[in-house]
Amino acid sequence: MTDQPTAPSRVTVVMRTKDRELLLHRALASVAAQTYPHYTVVVVNDGGSPLDPSTLPAGFAPGGERADRLVLVENAEPAGRWAAANQGVAAHDGRYVVLHDDDDTWEPGFLEHTVAFLDGNEGYAGVVAFTDIVTDRVYPEGAYELGRQPFARDIEHITLHEMCRHNLFPPIAFLYRRSLHDELGPYDESMRVLADWEFNLRVLRRHDIGMVREPLANWHLREEDSGDEFGNVTLSRQTEYEEDRARLLNKLLREDLDHGAPGVGWLVNRLYFEDQAARLREQPWQGRYDELVQHVAQVGEHTVEAVDTHAGARAHTLLEAAEKQAEHLDERLDAIGAALSDIRQVAGGVVRDVASRLYGRVRRGRND
């Protein structure tokens, strides 16, 4: 497709940035390479050093061939990731919206294929393209790709059930209708890192999200030694991620309790506790179990060897050692079983308590 700068802009591309000029320039080049031209990029500089528009690449600088497709929002003080996202959404009125962070990229056909999908499928509120995870190393002179791998290619459909378990796609892969914000509201600015997951859950409660099964979005992750200024939210803010997840689980469960019936909150919490229990069953108990079994087997082999080559006294000593190791193994296995039993009881108690409270609310509602 050829560029048509004077045609109406139908897509709002929101690009949040802060003092990462090198990555910002790469991201803008990614947008400029799109075969679909009817977009406007809203760059939200969230409390970073003021950007000099004349230095922007790929024709986005004043007087350039794409200068009319760029809106620059400067925040003197950081507003936060999701407040900046909401600013970007509000700064342009494209029919479709996508968050293109300054550290990610697209393949040239991303907008062409995703826009065509939504234009031709009114029953879908948004569409997700297949994504590759790209590992980068960033130096002052540039970013270098170290490798890439497919992300979540086993997902056949975007379902509410699986979204309740975990977020199924990064923002760079998701083009959606602006009308969703009119219906559902903005991104939750109280969340630090998981507002996209919370928004996606709101969307799927009422609408479907389609898929373009081509790898058109690139989710870039940096090595740890790339420096703090180039860090990923996913990798460098794990504590905030865990805290946000706990707050989100609580928020959704309270909404269920307020409505007096099980819903997304109950499902999200149940799936979370099931996944935690499964991880505890697998680690580190399994590794310790295998280690103990191997150790006892080695003692047994030494015992057999001693019987064959040494006097009975030596064999007797090794047999006693083997018996002690076997007793120790039995004790560890009993402890593992007791721990798993405790986990099941705690998780079961949580589920029964929530169900009881919800049932009580429903009964009170019917009596009223």
Q: How many CB atoms lie within 10 A of CB 106?
A: 22
Of 2, 102, 3, nearest to 46 by C-alpha is 102
Chain-centroid distance, C-alpha 33: 26
> For the segment 39-66, what is each residue's pLDDT rounded down to a tens digit?
999 999 999 999 999 999 999 999 999 9
The CATH H-level (homologous superfamily) assignment of domain 11-235 is Spore Coat Polysaccharide Biosynthesis Protein SpsA; Chain A (3.90.550.10)
d(CA 108, CA 366) in angstroms, rounded, equals 56
Residue segments in the chain with a per-residue pLDDT below the cut of 50 = 1-6, 225-226, 228, 235, 303, 306-307, 310-311, 314-315, 318
Coil, strand, or helix at residue 49? coil
**In the chain, at which residue ranges do the beta strands (DSSP E only) sit?**
11-17, 39-46, 70-75, 96-99, 105-106, 124-139, 142-151, 174-177, 208-222
Q: Are 45 and 73 in contact (CB under 8 A)?
A: yes
pLDDT at position 279 is 77
pLDDT of 303: 47
Q: What's the N-to-C CA distance of the chain in angstroms?
A: 62
Q: What is the pLDDT of residue 305?
A: 55
How much is the pTM? 0.75
